Structure 1
Amino acid sequence: MYTTQGQSQSTSTSGVDPASSGPTSGDSVSDHGYTPYWQHRRGSCHSDDRSSDRPPPITLEDHTESRAATRGALWAKSITIDDYVIVHGSPPGLGAYVVWNCKVQTLDGGPMTIRKRYSEFDELRRKLIKAFPQSNKTTLPPLPPKSAIYKFRPKFLEKRREGLAYFLNCIMLNPEYAGSTIVKDFIFPPES
Structure 2
Amino acid sequence: METAASEALVNHGLAPHPSHDEGGKSAVLRPERNSIVPPYWQRHERTGSNLSFNNASTDNVSRHQPILLEDHTDEGSEQCKALWAKHVTVDDYVIVSGTAPGLGAYVVWNCTVETLDGGPMKIMKRYSEFDGLRQKLVKTFPHAEGAMPPLPPKSVISRFRPRFLERRRTGLSYFLNCIMLNPEFAGSPVLKEFLFS
Query: Which residue of structure 2 aligns with residue 117 of structure 1?
Result: 126
Q: Which amino acid aligns with 2:79?
A: T
Is it true that 1:161 corresponds to 2:169 in the alignment? yes
Report how far residue 62 of structure 1 moved: 8.0
Report how far residue 61 of structure 1 moved: 9.0
Q: Which amino acid aligns with 1:86?
A: I
Q: Distance in 1 between matches of 2:154 and 2:71?
A: 43
Relative to the length of structure 1, the TM-score reads 0.62
User: Which entry has the higher C-alpha Rg, 1 or 2?
Assistant: 1
Report how far residue 188 of structure 1 moved: 1.2
Cα offsets for 1:126-150 (capped at 9, x unmatched): 000000011133x101000000000
CA contact 1:72–1:179 (8 Å) conserved in 2: no
Q: 2:104 aligns with which of 95, 108, 111?
A: 95
Cα offsets for 1:73-115 (capped at 9, x unmatched): 1000000011000000111210000000000000001111100
After TM superposition, list the pairs within 5 Å mapping 1:1-192 onto structure 2. Answer: 67=76, 69-137=78-146, 139-189=147-197
Cα offsets for 1:148-181 (capped at 9, x unmatched): 0000000000000000000000000000001100
Q: Distance in 2 between matches of 1:154 and 1:109?
A: 33
Q: Distance in 2 between matches of 1:82 and 1:152?
A: 16
Give the paired residue count.
127
Structure 2 residue matching 1:135: 3-state secondary structure: helix
Q: Distance in 2 between matches of 1:109 and 1:70?
A: 19
Give the direction of change, closer, same or farther, for the CA distance of 1:175–1:62 in structure 2 (3 Å limit): closer
Q: Distance in 2 between matches of 1:153 and 1:145?
A: 14
Return 5+ residue gaps in structure 1 as ranges.
1-59
Q: Which amino acid aligns with 1:87?
A: V
Aligned-pair RMSD on alpha carbons?
2.0
Structure 2 residue matching 1:167: 3-state secondary structure: helix
Q: Distance in 2 between matches of 1:145 and 1:62?
A: 35
Identical-pair percentage: 68
Query: Which residue of structure 2 aligns with residue 44 of structure 1?
Result: none
Q: Distance in 2 between matches of 1:92 and 1:118?
A: 21
Q: Distance in 1 between matches of 2:177 and 2:134?
A: 13
Q: Distance in 2 between matches of 1:110 and 1:136?
A: 30
Structure 2 residue matching 1:151: 3-state secondary structure: coil
Relative to the length of structure 2, the TM-score reads 0.61
